[in-house]
Amino acid sequence: MQNIWAIQTQAQAGGEDWSAQVRPAAGAMGAYVDGIDLASLDAEAFAEVQRLIHRFKAVMFHGQRSDMAWDAYVDFGAGFGELAVDPYVEPVLPDHPQVMGLIREADTTGYNFGGDWHSDGSYLEQPGGLTILWGRDIPPYGGDTLFTNLELAWHQLSPAYREMLDGRRCLHAATGLGTKAPITRKGDYASVNFDQELSRIEHFHPIKRTHPETGGHSLFVNQAYSVQIEGCTEDESAGILKFLFDWSASPAMTARLSWQPDSILVWDNRTTAHYAIGDYGGFRREMYRLAVTGERPE
């Protein structure tokens, strides 16, 4: 695997101006936050939560109320924008179709949902913006979510390589390219309606993506769904993508976030890719996901 030795840490990049409730998870990105009740945020606290997400890209809020009402959870998500309803998934909560259940029983074997490097829905015309995940039943160990910072991945490339990619687009497809487990595979994602034609969903997006709120640039490709660089031959594209997938998974660009029961994790798909680690066989894991609709990437 292509690797880098060291990166500028979050502290070097932005100073240490966060409060004592905030614990950075790694040099590259990610943080744990205690003492913020996401079910009762006033406008100022919500703005602080948004600032933390911009700053750390994936933020795990520990200690949320186990009895948080579904309405409150959905309202929290809707504060960030329109919530998507996945047309391919049977809702687990008929009154709250925006809530997707990701439930894996202890005796399930095989592929776990999200067990590839991906940015949520990057094959859509408007890929996911933020994703929110509420961990209700958490294995005693294992089941962490791994992230990589795609802004770092862009900026750590050499100027020559960035110049080659700048202005170029990549095709993202729901079926993926040589992916370990395309979205059409069932795994534990039992509520997907597999009669639908998932394989037809594909869109071109710029490889250098600009964040609409921060103006930051990210390397917007991911192993699960990015299949072909526009204007390159298949062989050229495969070689470049292989390099970029390995590059963006360099350990120094990643953060591994560990769950506690009733943690809520929020991440930004524009600037990160993530990987759900399937290392908790024999234990149950029950999560509830909200997806905030993103913009068309530019």
- What lies within 8 Å, CB to CB, of 131 at 6+ separation is 120, 266, 267, 269, 289, 290, 291, 292
**Closest by CA position to 58, among listed 162, 172, 150, 177:** 150
CB 141, min distance to ligand SIN, A: 14
Order across the sheet with 58-61: list the strands. Answer: 22-24, 31-33, 58-61, 263-268, 128-137, 285-293, 100-104
What would the two tokens of residue 30 be? 């990610």
What is the closest distance, in whole angstroms, from the C-beta atom of residue 62 to ligand SIN in the complex?
A: 15
The minimum distance between CB 277 and ligand SIN, in angstroms, equals: 8
- CB of 128 or CB of 206, closer to ligand SIN: 128
**Under the criterion CB under 6 A, does residue 287 sit at the interface with ligand SIN?**
yes
Report the residue number, 165 or 255, with the smaller CB distance to ligand SIN: 255
Give me the least distance between CB of 260 and ligand SIN, in Å please. Answer: 13
Residue closest to ligand SIN (Cβ): 114
CB of 279 to ligand SIN, least distance (A): 11
In the complex with ligand SIN, which residue's Cβ is closer, 48 or 188? Answer: 188
Residue 5 CB, shortest distance to ligand SIN, in Å, is 28
Number of residues this chain uses to bind ligand SIN (CB under 6 A):
9
Task: Please say which residue, 102 or 198, places its beta carbon nearer to ligand SIN.
Answer: 102
End-to-end CA distance of the chain: 29
CB of 231 to ligand SIN, least distance (A): 30
C-alpha 230/C-alpha 204 separation (Å) is 8
Closer Cβ to ligand SIN, 145 or 228, answer by number: 145
Nearer to ligand SIN, 89 or 133 (CB): 133
List C-alpha distances in Å: 73 to 24, 41, 65, 189.
24, 12, 10, 22
Return phi, psi of residue 151, to 5°. Answer: -70, -45
Report the C-alpha gap between 170 and 135 in whole angstroms: 33
Query: Which CB atom, from 88 or from 161, has the smaller least distance to ligand SIN?
Result: 88
Nearest to 226 by CA among 248, 196, 251, 195: 248
CA 17 to centroid of chain Cα atoms: 25
**30 or 114: CB nearest ligand SIN:** 114
Query: Least separation, in Å, of the C-beta of 10 and ligand SIN?
Result: 22
Q: Binding pattern to ligand SIN, positions 99-138, x when CB under 6 A?
A: ---x-----------x-----x----------x-x-----
| DSSP-assigned letters across all residues of 118-140 | B-TTTTSSS-EEEEEEEEEE--S
**Cα 171 from Cα 182, distance rounded (Å):** 15
Q: Which residues of this protein are in contact with ligand SIN, per CB under 6 A?
A: 102, 114, 120, 131, 133, 145, 274, 276, 287
